[in-house]
Chain A
Amino acid sequence: MTKELIKGNTAVAEAALRAGLEAYFGYPITPQTELLEHLSARMPELGRAFVQAESELGAINMVYGAACTGKRVMTSSSSPGVSLMMEGLSYIAGTEVPMVLVDVVRGGPGLGNIAPAQGDYNQIVHGGGHGDYRLIVLAPASVQEAVDLTALAFDLAEKYRTITTIMMDGSIGQMMEPAELPPFQPLKEEIPAWAVRGAKDGEKRVLTSINLDPPTQEVMNLRLMTTWQKIEANEVRWKGYHLDDAEYVVVGFGTAGRIALSAVRAAREQGIKVGLLRPITLAPFPAEILDELTEKVKAFLVVEMNTGQMLEDVRLAVRGRKPVEFFGRMGGVVPFPDEVLTEIRRLATEPQTTAGHPRDRWLARLTETIG
C-alpha cells in the first residue's frame, strides 16, 4: 500500500467508508465539515445512504433508527453540534445499539470559535447525555492514527453494542499528513440477532430505551456496567515514549500529546529523564499504567488544551502518591512545545508537592503570563 497526503477529516471519512459504513447522517459545522463533504460525494457513488439532516437533532435520531437495523452507521460534528445530539446519544446508549460518533472539538464554551481545543473531555468522556451510561472514547494524535482508530471504532461499537466516539480536535481534522488507508472491507451480510429487519411474520424484536418498570431498568443498568467492566479489562490503549528510564512523565492526549512529545525530546536533549504517556483510549482510561508509573517516577505533568479535565482522571490514578502538575492552554489557543518544555524544566528543578491542587498553581502562573 502506498501512502497519500490526506486531511484528517477526509481520512476519517474515507476510512469509515472502507470499514463498511452503510449510512451516514450529519449536519455541517467547522472544523469538521470536510468529513461530511467527502461522504456526500462517496456514499452515493457506492450506493450507500448519505443524508444531510435538517439539524444535528435530526441527524442523531436518524442514526438511532439506522443503528437499530444493525448496519454500520455514523455521524460527525463539532462541539456545539455534539451538544445538540446528547439526548439522542443517551437514547442510543439506552437501546444498546452500536454507532460511531466523531467529534472534532473546537474552542468553547458556547458558540466559541473554530480553533482546536480539548474542552469537551468531560462532556464526551464522563457523560454528556442523561442517565447511567458509558461510552468508548478514542483520541487520535495523527491522521494515520485517526484512520486506524476509525475501523477499530466500528469493531468495538459492534462488539459491545455501544457508542464509540472518536474525539479529535480541529487541528487533526484540518491537518494533512501521509497516511495509508486500509483496503475496503466487504459489507456485513449477517444481521445481528437483536436487530430489527422489518421482516413480515418473523420473530418480534423490540428495540427501545423506555423501561417503565424500575427493576427491569435496574437489570439493564447492571448489564451496561458488566459490559463496561469487560471494556475496561480488554480495550485500554495508550502509547508511551521514553518511559523506560523516565523520572518524570508527561501525560497528554491527541494534539496536546504530540506537542508534549516535541517538548519531551527537547528536555531529553537537556539531560532531563522525561517520558510521555499518550492515552489513546480516554474511556476506558489507562489507569493501570499510570498506577505502575507512579511507583517508578518522581512526578507527573498533565498537558491539555483545556483547564485540566483529564487531569482529574490522572489524579485519581496517582492517588496523591506523587506530585501531579498541570499545564494547559484553552479557548482555541494551542500551546507551543517551548511552553511545555518550561513546565518540564520546572518539574525537574523545583521542589514539588502533593499538597493543594495543581490547577490552582497553574492558574496563578498563567494569569501572570496572559493576564
Chain B
Amino acid sequence: MQQEVIIAGFGGQGVLFAGRLLAYTAMEVGKAVTWIPSYGPEMRGGTANCTVVISDEEIGSPFVKNPTAVIAMNKPSLDKFEQLVAPGGVLVVNSSMIDRPVERTDIHVVSLPANEIAEALGSSRSVNMVVVGALLGNLDLLPMEAVEKALEAHTPERHKRFLKGNVEALHKGAEHRVAEKV
C-alpha cells in the first residue's frame, strides 16, 4: 500500500513543514517515507511544493506524477496540480487564496477557507495545519494522534507557544469532511 501527497503553495505558507510533519509521523508509525522539496528556482517568489510518499515497503520513485492527494494553498498550485490528482483521490483547496472552482469531478474536493479558519483560532500562521487537518479528515493516511505527537516532538522549543494553536488548527481542518474517508 502506497500513498502520495503533494503540498503546494507560496513560500512562507508552511508548505515544506506540512510535508515534513507527515513524513515524521509516517516514520514514527513504522512506514517507509520519502520527502522531497522542489528546490529549484521556482522557490524564489513563485510556488514551493514538496512530495511525500508513504508506503509499507521500500519506496521506489520519490517523484510522483499522479499523487493520491494534493493540497493546493494558492491558485498557481491549483492550476499546476489539479489535473494530476489520481482519479478517486483527494484535493484540498484553500479557498481563501483561490477564486475559481475546481473543474475535476472524479476526485474528492475539500474546499475550505484555511486562512480565515486559522485567523479565527488566533493563529494565522497555522494555516498549513488547517489544510493538513482537512487532508487527514478525508483521507485514511495517518492517525491524527500520531500526527499530534509528531508535531509536538518536532516543534522547536522557541515555537512551543504555537503548539496548542497548531493542534487546534489540525482538528478544525479535520472537521471539514466531504464524505466517507477515501
Contacts and interface: CB of A to CB of B under 8 A. Distances in A.
A5 B36 CA distance: 12
Interface residues of A, number: 27
B60 A258 contact: yes
Interface string A258-274: 11111111000000000
B40 interface: yes
A171 interface: yes
Interface in B21-72: 23-24, 27, 32-37, 39-41, 58-65
A30, A170, A171, A338 — which one has the most chain B CB atoms within 10 A of its CB? A171
A262 B37 contact: no
A265 B35 contact: no
B108 interface: no
Contacts of B34: 175-177
Interface residues of B, number: 21
Contacts of A114: 39-41
Nearest to A114: B40
Contacts of A334: 63
Interface string A239-261: 00000000000000001001111
A31 B40 CA distance: 9
Given A5-B20, A115-B40, A176 B60 contact: no
A177 B61 contact: no
A113 interface: yes
Nearest to B57: A265
Identify which of B59, B61, B63, B65 gathers the most chain A CB atoms within 10 Å of its CB. B61
Contacts of B40: 113-115
A174 B24 contact: no
Q: Which of A30, A31, A258, A338 has the most CB of B within 10 A?
A: A258
Contacts of B63: 171, 259, 334, 336
Contacts of B20: 5, 176
Interface string B58-100: 1111111100000000000000000000000000000000000
Contacts of B33: 5, 177-178
Interface string A103-138: 000000000011100000000000000000000000
A255 B65 CA distance: 15
Contacts of B60: 258-265, 337
A148 B58 CA distance: 16
A124 B61 CA distance: 24
Nearest to A336: B65
A176 B61 contact: no
A176 B65 contact: no
Nearest to A179: B27
A334 B36 CA distance: 13
A3 interface: yes
Given A175-B35, A177-B33, A259 B27 contact: no
A312 to B, nearest CB: 25
B62 A337 contact: no
A5 B39 contact: no
A5 B61 contact: no
A31 B61 contact: no
A294 B37 CA distance: 39
B35 A3 contact: no
Contacts of B58: 261
B61 A174 contact: no
A260 B62 CA distance: 11
Given A30-B39, A174-B39, A337-B65, 11 more contacts: A5-B20, A31-B39, A115-B40, A171-B36, A175-B35, A255-B62, A259-B61, A262-B61, A334-B63, A336-B61, A337-B60
22 contacts: A3-B27, A5-B23, A5-B24, A30-B39, A114-B39, A174-B37, A174-B39, A175-B35, A175-B36, A177-B33, A177-B59, A178-B27, A258-B59, A258-B60, A258-B61, A259-B60, A260-B60, A261-B61, A262-B61, A263-B60, A265-B60, A334-B63
7 tightest A-B CB contacts, nearest first: A262-B60, A261-B60, A262-B61, A176-B35, A259-B61, A336-B65, A178-B27
